[in-house]
Structure 1
């Protein structure tokens, strides 16, 4: 069996090596290790492989505590020490800046990290009924597969959710439509936990009795979702309070629906907001745009500083939620929110926002290329803070800001929003040079 010496980690947490003129991406291998590997897929210039035996282990290798690790695709880095994970993600960000954008930050920010386990307050679990495997399977997808990894515990979920998984299996088995229930979405707020059952057929009266008993026994809310996200509705217990999370440092509380986008890691989200506002330095009287603003996660802390924030978001429902959150927090006079497709932003559409002193951008994985290209000479904020969940698109957009728009990349660093996974969240500061 072939062997390889691992040189680094790639953006998916795989070990990188070279052999026979090809780049090897080896799952389960860490930098500095010598491993035996088996090829899974071969192409002319690269091959995907998995480590079969570790001949010389890294000092940073640890024993994965989760019995599902290696099968479940939810985590890819449990075999690497948490502090080493953070360092590896910082290298992924710096490599992306250079290899994709040919830019380098003047300062590398200290990494943001928090609890390595029990942090995940959002999860979308797949459900499949497979009689040959014993019945209902509930969990994340398996690695490299559309199959469901059947989870009876999960180390990255809060303990009460992990402990609830066996009972959740039993509940779904008892329902009338276990084979027409493709997913269960879990959302945790400060005061409530919601389970949204995506149902392709109507539930029966017997199902409703099961849900009521489950909600009472486990202290959760049960919702159904027969169609799109807007159809999600509370079933039990009736009259239960909505979901919300607080940002105590800024005196802000945000309401959200279980199908809304919110960060999965509440603790790290608070630290990330603190870092972003430290970089942005909002001041009373400034006009600051928050693009891809969602429910107001960054907007309302900016408004609390005394600046006037203009939030823009593609979803009408999220814009409504942001407006309601501004009213709840007494910040409606310092904020305004608009619905617009920022992936089609132009110089004219951005100019319509009026004078902007500063800007915060927090796009999805696709990045914000239309926004950065659309910044006109008369509409250049003197400072831009860019929060990213994809180093490659951040680096691409950074190259445009630096080479075409006259900005300097002052600083950048990572926030380990998803410990045990290869996901890299980051924040960067750009200033007009």
Structure 2
């Protein structure tokens, strides 16, 4: 496709530079605002084009050298060429623009961004695996920008070092197996004491393959599990039991989980996020708090240390069962958990009819619009919303302000995924 020289005027929500050619928007991977670049168009569509940098003609003063040699090929990170402070500023601009454009609201004050260690933070993730006969090797890593291909990675600086520094060894391991074509992915899950790798094996493994996996686990102090079918098929290979848990020290809580359970990717940021959420919500011993999309009780159990009573609701029944186990594990008796599809109308369920002084929302990317059809009720004075998608937060903020009579008192970003374009944020709404 053709090449052009363009000026980069903005940064898109996914971390690409924005330019215009004859009035048409072009998204340029690897370019930064203020730069002039020679680009090669890679994809055309009706409303915008896509391109990559062929030559950097004028360099942004913000540009730094990416730490990872795979930057630009692997899709795992898109912002390593920006320093962390500039990444945070870009994410806050995305959040502010979404509030203005979608929700037609603006926070009364901006919270200081929450940040933590920017490298080696990722304790949960899924590595793609592919045997490539032409290369006579197994690739283990994240997808390339073209999702049809697995990036040929030797290292990942955002993963925990126990895994990120062993991608070559993992590829060699898979390549040595008789079932090298039958390993589809490797799920990473790390607790405070144990790092576990779950191999998705599409066919039963021979004894020699099982032995090779055990030796690898023992050599590198990694727990090894197999997943021959659905999530319930996960079984330990070595050791016989794989206990996974993480502590939330400020609230004397230890949360146990299973390898495929959802947990927050960044342990340090998770502790900071919980502290901020409780600071904003300010639960009191006389109050009852509702925690929707509660998962394993990541917010519910710390809130129960402060509030009079807490109710947690989650859509996945298995997570609800484990959240109850975690409440018992931590000897917390003032909390109840319920399973409910929060994308459906649950306004007439017993838990939804109760009175709640405060509400915490931590929905998936799709947001909480269905719940906001009937909650919060008038007696709920404060809402804290933890978001993994600025567009759905902005939409729901508009609903809370316009339909439910709240003020958007405060909002800010949280850098849960440094060096990526993911925008995690938190917002406080008050009557």
**Which TM-score bucket, shorter chain as reference?**
over 0.9
Separation in structure 1 between the aligned mates of residue 354 and residue 378 of structure 2, nearest angstrom: 8
Could you report, residue by residue, the CA deviation over 1:28-70 in whole angstroms, capped at 9, with x for unpaired residues? Answer: 1111112222222223432222222221111110111111111
Is the 8 Å Cα contact of residues 367 and 393 (structure 1) preserved in structure 2?
yes
Equivalent residue runs for 1:202-241 within 5 Å: 202-240=204-242
Is the 8 Å Cα contact of residues 21 and 45 (structure 1) preserved in structure 2?
no
Separation in structure 2 between the aligned mates of residue 347 and residue 236 of structure 1, nearest angstrom: 45
Separation in structure 2 between the aligned mates of residue 27 and residue 116 of structure 1, nearest angstrom: 22
Shift of 1:90: 0.6
Equivalent residue runs for 1:174-323 within 5 Å: 174-240=176-242, 242-323=243-324
**Cα–Cα, structure 1 residues 380 and 151, in superposed 2: closer, same or farther, change >3 Å?**
farther
**Residue 400 of structure 1 corresponds to which residue in structure 2?**
399
Equivalent residue runs for 1:342-357 within 5 Å: 342-349=342-349, 352-357=352-357
- Larger mean CA deviation between 49-58 and 356-365 belongs to 49-58
SS in 2 for 1:348: coil
**Residue 132 of structure 1 corresponds to which residue in structure 2?**
134
Separation in structure 2 between the aligned mates of residue 398 and residue 345 of structure 1, nearest angstrom: 20
* 1:336 pairs with 2:336: yes
**Residue 358 of structure 1 corresponds to which residue in structure 2?**
358
Shift of 1:351: 6.5
Could you report, residue by residue, the CA deviation over 1:354-410 in whole angstroms, capped at 9, with x for unpaired residues? Answer: 00100000011111110112226x455211100000000111111111111111111
Separation in structure 2 between the aligned mates of residue 353 and residue 230 of structure 1, nearest angstrom: 33
**Residue 325 of structure 1 corresponds to which residue in structure 2?**
326
Is the 8 Å Cα contact of residues 355 and 379 (structure 1) preserved in structure 2?
no
Shift of 1:350: 7.9
**Residue 429 of structure 1 corresponds to which residue in structure 2?**
428
**Residue 169 of structure 2 corresponds to which residue in structure 1?**
167
Is the 8 Å Cα contact of residues 101 and 396 (structure 1) preserved in structure 2?
yes
TM-score, normalised via structure 1 length: 0.96
Is the 8 Å Cα contact of residues 107 and 409 (structure 2) preserved in structure 1?
yes
**Cα–Cα, structure 1 residues 131 and 380, in superposed 2: closer, same or farther, change >3 Å?**
farther
Could you report, residue by residue, the CA deviation over 1:127-157 in whole angstroms, capped at 9, with x for unpaired residues? Answer: 1111112321111010132210022211111
Is the 8 Å Cα contact of residues 289 and 307 (structure 2) preserved in structure 1?
no
**Residue 417 of structure 1 corresponds to which residue in structure 2?**
416
**Residue 80 of structure 2 corresponds to which residue in structure 1?**
78
**Residue 367 of structure 1 corresponds to which residue in structure 2?**
367
Shift of 1:257: 0.5
SS in 2 for 1:132: coil
Is the 8 Å Cα contact of residues 351 and 379 (structure 1) preserved in structure 2?
no
**Residue 25 of structure 2 corresponds to which residue in structure 1?**
23
SS in 2 for 1:194: strand
**Residue 87 of structure 1 corresponds to which residue in structure 2?**
89
**Residue 42 of structure 1 corresponds to which residue in structure 2?**
44
- Larger mean CA deviation between 224-233 and 357-366 belongs to 224-233
- Larger mean CA deviation between 342-351 and 26-35 belongs to 342-351
Structure 2 unpaired stretches of 5+: none
Structure 1 unpaired stretches of 5+: none
More helix by share: 1
Is the 8 Å Cα contact of residues 137 and 172 (structure 2) preserved in structure 1?
no
Is the 8 Å Cα contact of residues 28 and 52 (structure 2) preserved in structure 1?
yes
Could you report, residue by residue, the CA deviation over 1:88-112 in whole angstroms, capped at 9, with x for unpaired residues? Answer: 0011101111111111111111101
Is the 8 Å Cα contact of residues 346 and 370 (structure 1) preserved in structure 2?
no
**Residue 5 of structure 1 corresponds to which residue in structure 2?**
7
TM-score, normalised via structure 2 length: 0.97
What is the aligned residue count? 429
Shift of 1:18: 2.6
- Larger mean CA deviation between 48-57 and 397-406 belongs to 48-57
Separation in structure 1 between the aligned mates of residue 314 and residue 407 of structure 2, nearest angstrom: 26
Is the 8 Å Cα contact of residues 296 and 311 (structure 1) preserved in structure 2?
yes
SS in 2 for 1:258: coil
